[in-house]
Amino acid sequence: MSAIEIFTNNMILGLSVLKYKWFQTLITALAAAAFTQWLNNTLTKERDRENKLKESFKLFYNKVIPEIMDLFNIETDLRRGITLDILSTDDIRDSILETVSNNISHINSEIYDAYRSVMTEIYKEKTTGFEQDVADITLYHTIIEEYIKLVEKYDNQDMKKEYRYACFLIIWKNVVINCNGIQNSYAALSNAGLPGTSPFNFEKLNKETLQKLKSLDKEKDGIERDRLFKEILSDIIIKKDDRDIESFEDFIEPFFSHNIEINNSEAITLLTSPDLFSGEQNLDNRAIYRNRVLSALYKTKYNMGYVNSFYKGFNFTKQEFEEFIEFHNELKNAIRYWEEKNILKIEYKENVVNIVMTAAGDDYYEENLYPS
């Protein structure tokens, strides 16, 4: 029998079987069972996904995002350093990291990678804290951005506030990069998040602006990056006709560089008060003080017209040096810190003591602390 004959006979047999009612019933039942099983599996997976999402919101996002917003508002509060001296953001930062660590199962790869970058910087020996600041802020805006994506995909909530803070955080990160640290970013972002006093147009801190700000990370050319950043700021900052500022260019200058004078009143006293460090101080103050000592030394070395606050400069008689170091313990700690890192050296010549910045110190200052 040929293949054609076999196929024809089987086809005729199949058609004849289909005529029987019991077979039709069987086929219908099997199809219904398969569809029911598929539907049950789909609904179960959907319920599991919804339950996991609700748990993620409850245990992670709903807890960590308000802390991130609080952290930004405290760090940029106009009163910081005056009436907010007693408030430290260290506890908030630690709480954010702890929340992430305790909810690894509720975060995606983007948040996890940002979290690992923070932890890597913590494990490194810190000097200025500049890289740590950038890693921290990157984690914060990544969390808010991923939350926005989830809500927009599975819910219909108003995300204006979240978009606003996502924009703020990326602006903050760029200012920190430009100004070499959080302590130098204060002037640009003073009261940024507070309605009524913020220089920003909140309505323009939206999805479109967020995408523009994110594009800054892809720009390798520093000049072009600054141009794009200024363009974005020009669109989202309330113009001078509505604000009491001399010019827009003057107003945005702190977004790109920091003056050697510190705007934070707490930090200003680090330069002028010999007995400020009478007890245990927070690490931010100590880092600021060390960097200002180094800045004063650099400007003294290159005769940059800097009248330094550290008494007579960095040349002493042996008696003066011993008395001064004994009197101002924090200066001694700062000098010893930089000496151990080969950033400066102490030269003893007869009855004279000179504190001298090394070539490595020049390189370090110019790469990490020199104003843009």
pLDDT band at 21 (very low <50, low <70, confident <90, very high): low
The strand order across the sheet containing 344-349 reads 315-317, 352-357, 344-349
CATH dotted code for 265-368: 1.10.10
DSSP-derived secondary structure for 160-180? HHHHHHHHHHHHHHHHHHHHT
Count CB-CB contacts under 10 A for residue 39: 10
Least confident among 56-65, 200-209, 342-351:
342-351
Query: For residue 189, what pLDDT is reported?
Result: 85
Q: Does this model's pTM top 0.75?
A: no
Q: Any bridge partners for residue 357, and if so which?
A: 344
Q: What is the pLDDT at residue 118? A: 92
Contact 169, 189 (CB under 8 A): no
* Rg for the chain, CA atoms, rounded: 31
- CA angle in degrees (0–180, nearest 5) for 54-55-60: 110
Instruction: For tokens 């086929």, name the residue.
Output: 27
pLDDT of residue 83: 44
Residues 181 and 130: their CA atoms lie apart, in Å, by 5
How high is the pLDDT of residue 143?
96
Q: How many CB atoms lie within 10 A of CB 8?
A: 12
- Beta strands per DSSP E along the chain: 315-317, 344-349, 352-357
Distance CA 48, CA 51 (A): 5
**Residue 75 scores a pLDDT above 50:** yes
Query: Token digits for 43?
Result: 């609904």
Confidence band of 331 (pLDDT split at 50, 70, 90): confident
233-292 pLDDT tens trace: 999 998 755 554 557 777 888 888 765 343 344 444 444 444 444 444 455 567 777 887
Task: Indicate whether 100 pLDDT > 90.
Answer: yes
pLDDT: which is higher, 120 or 7:
120
Cα angle, residue 133 at apex, residues 53 and 64 outer, rounded to 5° = 25
Percentage above 70 pLDDT, the chain:
65
Can you give the pLDDT at residue 30? 64
**Which DSSP letter does residue 237 get?**
B
Average pLDDT over residues 22-28: 61
Cβ proximity of 165 and 64 under 8 Å: no
* pLDDT in the model for residue 19: 57
Measure CA 294 to chain center: 25
